[in-house]
Amino acid sequence: MTLPPLTADQLTPAQRTEIELLARGKAEKSRTLRELGQAETPESAHSLLLRLGLWTEARTPYADRLGAALTPVTLPVPNFADEARLDLTHLEAFAIDDEGNRDPDDAVGIEALPDGLTRLWVHVADVSALVTADSPLDLEARARGATLYLPDQTIGMLPDELVERTGLGLHDTMPALSISLDLDSDGNADAVDVCLSRVRVTRLTYSQAQDRLDAGAEPFVTLARLARASRDLRESEGAMSIDLPEVRVKADAHGAEVSPLPKPEMRFVVQESMTLAGWGAAIFGDDHSIALPFATQDAPTRDVHGDTLPAQWARRRTLARTRFQPSPGPHHGMGLELYVQATSPMRRYLDLVVHQQLRSHLTGTEPLAGKAVAARVAEAQMNADATRQAERLSRKHHTLRYVAAQPDRVWDAVVVDRRGPQATLLIPDLAYDLPLSTPAPAGTALRVRLTDVDLPKLTVRARVVTGE
- 129 plus 174 within the same structural domain: yes
Of the residues 69, 95, 115, the one at which a domain ends: 69
- What does the pLDDT read at residue 466? 87
Residue 78 domain-assigned (yes or no): no
- 104 plus 199 within the same structural domain: yes
**pLDDT > 70 fraction of the chain, expressed in percent and rounded:** 99
- What does the pLDDT read at residue 5? 62
Residue 303 domain-assigned (yes or no): yes
Burial 138-162 (b: 16+ CB within 10 A, else e): bebbbebbbbbbbbeeebbbbbeeb
Its pTM stands at 0.94
Which of helix, strand or coil describes residue 414? strand
Of the residues 20, 35, 69, the one at which a domain ends: 69
pLDDT band of residue 35 (cuts 50, 70, 90) is: very high
- 290 plus 438 within the same structural domain: no
Cα distances (Å, whole numbers) of residue 459 to 27, 183, 393, 417, 447: 23, 49, 11, 19, 19
pLDDT band of residue 1 (cuts 50, 70, 90) is: very low
Residue 378, φ and ψ in degrees, nearest 5: -60, -45
Least confident of 119-128, 191-200, 297-306, 456-465: 297-306
- 150 plus 48 within the same structural domain: no
Higher pLDDT, 424 or 302: 424
pLDDT band of residue 58 (cuts 50, 70, 90) is: very high
CA 253-254-255 angle, to 5 degrees, is 100
- 362 plus 217 within the same structural domain: yes
- 266 plus 163 within the same structural domain: yes
- Average pLDDT of the chain? 95
What is the span of the domain harbouring residue 431?
A: 406-464
pLDDT band of residue 301 (cuts 50, 70, 90) is: confident
Q: Count CB neighbours of 244 within 10 A.
A: 14
The mean per-residue pLDDT over the stretch 116-142 comes to 97
- What does the pLDDT read at residue 396? 98
Residue 81 domain-assigned (yes or no): no
CATH code of 15's domain: 1.10.10.10
Choose among 97, 88, 165: nearest CA to 121.
Answer: 88
Burial of 378 (0-12, 13-18, 19+ CB in 10 A): exposed
Residues in the chain: 468
Residue 401 domain-assigned (yes or no): no
**pLDDT > 90 fraction of the chain, expressed in percent and rounded:** 91
Torsion of the alpha carbons at 113, 119, 123 and 128, rounded to the nearest 10? -100
- 349 plus 426 within the same structural domain: no
Query: How many folded domains does the chain comprise?
Result: 3
- 199 plus 152 within the same structural domain: yes
Residue 216 gets the label, from left (phi > 0), alpha (psi -120 to 50) or beta, of: left
- 150 plus 63 within the same structural domain: no
- 268 plus 342 within the same structural domain: yes
CATH code of 443's domain: 2.40.50.140
- 142 plus 52 within the same structural domain: no
Residue 77 domain-assigned (yes or no): no
- CA 151: distance to chain centroid? 13
Residue 109 domain-assigned (yes or no): yes
Residues 410-451 pLDDT 10s: 999 999 999 888 999 999 999 999 999 999 999 999 999 999
Residues 220-250 pLDDT 10s: 999 999 999 999 999 999 999 899 999 999 9
Of the residues 339, 365, 393, the one at which a domain ends: 393
Choose among 209, 212, 223: nearest CA to 120.
Answer: 223
- 459 plus 356 within the same structural domain: no
Residue 4 pLDDT more than 70? no
- What does the pLDDT read at residue 177? 98
- 372 sits in which H/E element: helix 370-404
